[in-house]
Structure 1
Amino acid sequence: MTKKLIENVDYYFNDKGLMVFTEKYHTERGHCCQSGCLHCPYEFSKKVDPSIPSELQNPWTQSEEDELEIYDGPIDE
């Protein structure tokens, strides 16, 4: 059975009308979704560079010496 979420306990709506999950919700969920959530108890949001698209970064496995190679050529189909 899925637990029903409670507004202002598990989530709230910010000034832009977007739903924001609380630290309590993330802790009870039990794992990090790696989306850079505002209230992430796993500190993932502190490892994310907002100027880089999330698809191109993984702060759990990349070290500062690693370089990301981007292929910008044609795609063979």
Structure 2
Amino acid sequence: MKKIIPIEEGDFYWTPEGYRCFTAQYLLKREYCCESGCRHCPYGFNKKSNSTKA
């Protein structure tokens, strides 16, 4: 079971299309890469090459 991380100020913003976009601040608190190609991925995952930066 994944741990629940409370949402805090600066963890996300709303895109012009109305989607919630998580920031690197939140993704670092989550402590793992979901490999979905997140816009602000602090782990360096590249969806095109399916790999992370070393």
Between the two proteins, the alignment pairs up a number of residues equal to 49
The structure with more strand, counted as a fraction of residues: 2
Cα RMSD of the aligned pairs, angstroms, is 1.9
Corresponding position of 2:22: 21
Moved over 6 A (4+): none
What 5-or-longer segments of structure 1 have no aligned partner? 50-57, 61-77
Point out which structure has higher relative CO (alpha carbons under 8 A, 6+ apart): 2
**Structure label with greater radius of gyration:** 1
What 5-or-longer segments of structure 2 have no aligned partner? none
TM-score under structure 1 normalisation?
0.55
Seq. identity, %: 37
